[in-house]
Amino acid sequence: MVIAALVPIAVSRYGVHDDALWRPCALVALAIWVIFVIALNRTTASRTINRSPDRLDRLFPVVGLPLHVVNAGSLVLITFGVWPGNDEALYVTALAAGVIFAGYTLLMSGMGQTDAPAPDQDGL
């Protein structure tokens, strides 16, 4: 998401503004999002989490899925020019949803860790 956040800043330095700025940036951000989702779903840990009946995993449809929809939906609206006057706001909305989803993913992976007691070094 850091790359997606910096692309409009870099591109705007060349005098590109409005639709010519936000549409390519949204395409880059959408490509990054697609690559992230594919890569995340290919990991062994993700497949294990997706198949576990753990209580934490049941939060995804309530928290994670709406964030994905907001992120991808905002970028698709920009890409197809559905709401042209609000491209900048939609882009920021997509970035915010991406950052919140990253925090959610980090929280879920941390809370999903099981702490196995380590053997005592001293043999006690």
Q: Which tens digit of pLDDT belongs to each residue from 43-98?
A: 776 665 555 566 656 677 788 889 999 999 999 999 998 988 899 999 999 999 98
Give the best-scoring range by mean pLDDT among 1-10, 32-41, 68-77, 101-110. Answer: 68-77
Name the residue with tokens 């700025």: 21
How many whole angstroms separate alpha carbon 112 and alpha carbon 55?
10
pTM above 0.85, yes or no: no
Mean pLDDT value of segment 2-11: 83
How many whole angstroms separate alpha carbon 69 and alpha carbon 75?
10
What residues contact 97, with CB distance under 8 A and at least 6 apart? 67, 68, 70, 71, 74
Closest C-alpha among 25, 15, 1 to residue 88: 25
Whether pLDDT at 113 is above 90: no
Q: How far apart are the first and last CA of the chain?
A: 48
Mean pLDDT value of segment 96-124: 73
What are the structure tokens assigned to 59, written together? 């939060």
pLDDT number for residue 72: 93
Per-residue pLDDT tens digits for 35-53: 988 887 777 766 655 555 6
pLDDT number for residue 75: 93
